[in-house]
Structure 1
């Protein structure tokens, strides 16, 4: 018997495969049966284009295995064909190995004659066997005996062929309904997705509906669409799942030729006609306008694809449903597809289950692996694709091997994951790629208005760029707060893209050793617009006073520590203070920062103030957490608030403020907005005319500590 899990692993391309002797039934009984199946939405493999010979070809063998039900149409001359007998062997093998359903029709032949190979049926069988060995005869004879014992429809029991055919179609539908596809069993959250999409499809509506499934790469859109196709196929006359749309059409064709080639491939698949050729772009409508079809267009990435394959509802018959999966929301807007289902990220519990099903074939972690599983879902950002890839790579591995893999995941993105995720980035125009990279490195979880201010020089159309990134599912902008969110694996894709650039072309520097060389030896170039410097692995660095001289286009500078080294020292024992730990960079007092600097984040800035040569007129954001500031800078700054900009000042004395005491004040003038966030006992002073900022909204405890805060007079 077939194992219970074997059929669940199959993907059934056809509802029915029919084994028959062509001269006996093709133009009569079989043609009527095929017509009835079409009316009932039952897909049947069509072998008319296959040239029959002495042996079954690989295409036919594959088609037998891809059919949920095999109908053996036994007629008088069936055993005269070694081809038919070999088909029968393969069908019975699929029944045994994969749980394929086998039905029989005895057309002008008695079941006992089939079982025992007697009468005319036996005569033709013996003639066929004469050309083969005894081993082949025994195998064929056993197969005929087995199939003859399968109860089926006997032609002589019916006086009306039409009623017999209707009964067969009804039986096929019942068996299809009774044996639902189990290809997608165990996929976490799938049932909920399918229920929502079925509701959007409104299958009882007689008109044509188009529905889109949206979401970022790797979220599971294709899996959901395949499961939907499997679930609903039997309810339509024709069905087709169209994937690899990016690869179907070769380059070098004009738009007309491109669309024509796309339609030819599409219709070949829908109508099951190999290498179909068409004369004009109206062929889809001509062939499908009276057919109830289910078409799923997977991974659509251009409007031209939709225009070629599903430009109008009128192209398809009543009751048809067109489902599109895409990461590009703009395409849907342009085409007018308003019904969309967005696939969101799974909750942590679901993410753990996805990982464990792939790694352990269980719903929860093995004992001792709980913490590692939690780390993995964090590193994967709950992205199903990443969870599956990582989970399968860990299957059967020991705990220490898991730990090695998890540590690698901290810095290295799996190639299989990267290949999927980088497609969206690579499809962007150059300016959009630049914006993507800057968000990945500097501006994730930042206010979109702040990002617009960062590029207010007009080098990038940020408003349009953000819109495109949202349309392509590369970022999300929260409706509350306008905060930009990019998935952590997409941020890794961005960093990988930067690392792969030629060094002299890099706009953003990330590699700590490369940055050390730039800052020590003044090797930067004018191509550099941003530096993100993780000093976690740096022991000691003396920055050259003129380190930024050649980087006069540098606008974004971030120095931070991704790993806290405090565990290496016993701070309480006084061996090393946190401030000493952070003093790994030494900056000359006369350091010359780039004049065009717009973004300066320096965690644990080592000096007591910025150098007097610092020019803040372009500055948009300043973040100096854990610094040793006593002054912002020494001397006079004439142009601090020369233009309408948002300047954010951050400071916090280590351990002084608890979460509940953190506060924000806003001082709004004609020229600027000053946000003081997480301020501690540090005092910012500017040695010029000053005025005090009132703290009417502050709690009393915080007021007393911030009362010495003094600001530059407007």
Structure 2
């Protein structure tokens, strides 16, 4: 990350320059919160692109501690102080606090945020409660240096008078997101809001970060692909936050598929891109062709990072960026898409497939959305595992179902789970169906529905033989479904597979043809098929 330089104004009106190595300095009592709240806060800050110093990672305890802390505080734009029950018992913490408040008094631009984690702000201000007990011990220990004790007391009074964040009755996870949002607003308007509780994000972003930091002068293009709801946009946002400051200009264009379908959608996207790259100096654009020409001139003279989110076809890519030869050496372009083969096969580009969350990651993400912690509460463990199994590692489903069940009783969970086995969740269905709706023709849509209802688990060549007999152009059709991550083929036994939420989505489409009477649907399976045959209630359609 390119180091920033900030100007610090002193009381006498003179000025000096400090090299800002960090966005934020995080002060906390390690024994209280290192492995819990402070660690989660640190990870959330980093994920939001807020480069944060925490002393237990950055320096060793020893004789140079004061100098290193002073340097880190002066080289941070903001300071975050997590006040916990035993914060005041640590001389190291109080020394950090005193340095932070000294920096603030000499630099009005240095932002300090006190965070009261299960601590009453009045106890900090007045040094009562556990803070009072700690200072009784400090006064006994530092009888010969009461000036130091008074310096600590003053720092506590001053920081408690600042506008801070208090945990109160909020979930810790939401509290952390509120802190990150506030810090982000103070620091960097370009930082994007990443989905809360981004479980498993570190491993999934690592490869993209390595690609972004490869030092190459080539104009790089990367494709992040996977089924709907798998987390492509979250991963792209995290990578953007962590890397955009390394480029001379950057732009994140969200929801390209949806925006491009609206009146003047491409022109609006082009304007946004130019405004970002030219720091708000973009001229008006009246046509897509005019926008392409202006983008060509804007990207040819500086290294840029551009993210195109949710690209559905190559025309959208070309209307916004044209050709990569325009770009200044070292520029990077990231595309998120459901279409694996969106770009031409002969073009050089990196591919990053987003896989489903594993069982442990899924349970953690689901628990954050249901109970605001990383694991289920007693009495809900087996039900949580059942819902997680149903979601099949899809972050969207875990988030939607987790939020819908938050605060509900056990019997409601049981009823909701029974319903899910029969009727897909509407929000999840809507997102997944975008991939189905984007298929080029009824042939591929009908092929998908046939596979969802009847062919899952069948050996590929057998499936092709059966489907060809039904007048499907099966090989090209299956390839189109593979390209859009709607089906998959097991490498070991060559069997057709499908994420079971996609299967449920396909069967949900069939169910909507006649919700009450299966005999009027175009396809039936399992018990519906048995009942129709037994009762002879089938129609010409089925």
| TM-score computed with the length of structure 1 as normaliser | 0.47
Deviation at 1:499, TM superposition (A): 1.4
Task: Within 5 Å, give how 1:120-519 maps onto structure 2.
Answer: 186-250=197-261, 260=267, 262-273=269-280, 276-278=283-285, 279=290, 281-333=292-344, 336-428=347-439, 429-457=441-469, 459-501=471-513, 506-510=521-525, 516=531, 519=534
Do the aligned partners of residues 372 and 98 (structure 1) sit closer, same or farther apart at CA in structure 2, a change above 3 Å counting?
same
- 2:207 and 2:46 map into 1 onto residues whose CA distance is 23
Deviation at 1:251, TM superposition (A): 5.5
Larger RCO, structure (CA 8 Å, separation 6 or more):
2
Q: Are the equivalent residues in 2 in contact too, given 1:213–1:221 (CA < 8 A)?
A: yes
- 1:521 and 1:341 map into 2 onto residues whose CA distance is 50
Deviation at 1:501, TM superposition (A): 2.2
Deviation at 1:517, TM superposition (A): 5.2
Q: Are the equivalent residues in 1 in contact too, given 2:292–2:322 (CA < 8 A)?
A: no
Do the aligned partners of residues 222 and 368 (structure 1) sit closer, same or farther apart at CA in structure 2, a change above 3 Å counting?
same
- 2:207 and 2:44 map into 1 onto residues whose CA distance is 25
Q: Are the equivalent residues in 1 in contact too, given 2:230–2:396 (CA < 8 A)?
A: yes
Do the aligned partners of residues 505 and 236 (structure 1) sit closer, same or farther apart at CA in structure 2, a change above 3 Å counting?
farther
Q: Are the equivalent residues in 1 in contact too, given 2:443–2:472 (CA < 8 A)?
A: yes
Gaps of 5+ in 1: 16-41, 43-87, 100-145, 147-174, 529-714
Larger Rg: 1
- 2:220 and 2:259 map into 1 onto residues whose CA distance is 25
Q: Which is richer in helix?
A: 2
- 1:303 and 1:397 map into 2 onto residues whose CA distance is 45
Q: Deviations over 1:554-609 (max 9, x none)?
A: xxxxxxxxxxxxxxxxxxxxxxxxxxxxxxxxxxxxxxxxxxxxxxxxxxxxxxxx
Q: Are the equivalent residues in 2 in contact too, given 1:209–1:322 (CA < 8 A)?
A: yes
Do the aligned partners of residues 10 and 394 (structure 1) sit closer, same or farther apart at CA in structure 2, a change above 3 Å counting?
farther
Q: Are the equivalent residues in 2 in contact too, given 1:213–1:326 (CA < 8 A)?
A: yes
Q: Are the equivalent residues in 1 in contact too, given 2:366–2:402 (CA < 8 A)?
A: yes
Do the aligned partners of residues 514 and 484 (structure 1) sit closer, same or farther apart at CA in structure 2, a change above 3 Å counting?
closer
Gaps of 5+ in 2: 1-25, 28-36, 51-76, 78-107, 117-161, 163-185
Deviation at 1:479, TM superposition (A): 2.1
Backbone CA RMSD of aligned residues = 4.0
SS at match of 2:343: helix
- 1:487 and 1:418 map into 2 onto residues whose CA distance is 13
- 1:13 and 1:346 map into 2 onto residues whose CA distance is 21
Q: Are the equivalent residues in 1 in contact too, given 2:292–2:320 (CA < 8 A)?
A: no
Deviation at 1:183, TM superposition (A): 5.3
Aligned length: 377
Do the aligned partners of residues 13 and 200 (structure 1) sit closer, same or farther apart at CA in structure 2, a change above 3 Å counting?
closer
| TM-score computed with the length of structure 2 as normaliser | 0.61
SS at match of 2:221: strand
Q: Are the equivalent residues in 1 in contact too, given 2:259–2:266 (CA < 8 A)?
A: no
Q: Are the equivalent residues in 1 in contact too, given 2:460–2:495 (CA < 8 A)?
A: yes
Deviation at 1:505, TM superposition (A): 7.4
Deviation at 1:230, TM superposition (A): 0.8
- 1:304 and 1:496 map into 2 onto residues whose CA distance is 31
Task: Within 5 Å, give how 1:76-115 maps onto structure 2.
Answer: none
Q: Which moved more, 1:310-319 or 1:516-525?
A: 516-525
Do the aligned partners of residues 477 and 523 (structure 1) sit closer, same or farther apart at CA in structure 2, a change above 3 Å counting?
closer
Deviation at 1:417, TM superposition (A): 0.9
Q: Are the equivalent residues in 2 in contact too, given 1:11–1:183 (CA < 8 A)?
A: no
SS at match of 1:509: coil
